Amino acid sequence: MPRRVVGAVILDDRGHVLLCQRPEEKRHGGRWEFPGGKILRGESMLQAARREIGEELGVEVVGVKGQPVPVQDPGSEWVVEFIETVVEGEPRADEHMEVTWVPLEEVADYDLAPADREFAEGYLSSMVGAG
């Protein structure tokens, strides 16, 4: 059974999406990603998002919307489950090198981690359009 990761698609009131730059010492170091992390056994998507996003960005997750979009992370056992995530507070780079708000049409211009690129190019606009 694949190991699961939540990938939080966080939008601001302008419709920009939050991207985070991975630390250099981690897999895909220096590349950009949607924030998130491991879904622990027995955790719901909301519980995992609250724990991971709270730790990484110092914000409170108040909800998730819609159905997750699963994307296999190439070369690993992980499946990233991207889901629109609603937060309160201003994200900070507690565990990333940098965080930034990006217009949807510019996301593909960033050097994204492989699963994040596949999601951004194949599913992001339809997910946001459905919300």
Q: Please report, for the domain that includes residue 103, its CATH number.
A: 3.90.79.10
For residue 131, the model assigns a pLDDT of 47
Let me know: does 4 contact 78? Beta carbons within 8 Å: yes
In tens digits, what is the pLDDT along the chain, a chain of 131 residues?
A: 679 999 999 999 998 999 999 998 887 779 999 999 999 999 999 999 999 999 999 999 999 999 999 999 998 999 999 999 999 999 999 999 999 999 999 999 999 999 999 999 999 988 776 54
Query: 98 is written with which tokens?
Result: 């940098």
At 75, the amino acid letter reads G
Q: Which residue in this structure is represented by tokens 């994204």?
A: 112
Hey, what are 90's tokens?
Answer: 């201003």
Q: DSSP readout, 68-106?
A: EEEEE-TTSSEEEEEEEEEEES----SSSSEEEEE-GGG
The predicted model scores a pTM of 0.92
User: How far is it, in rounded angstroms, from Cα 51 to Cα 103?
Assistant: 26
Cα angle 64-87-59, degrees, rounded to a multiple of 5: 130
What is the enclosing helix (H) or strand (E) of 37? strand 36-38
Domain count for the chain, please give it: 1
Range of the domain at 60: 3-130
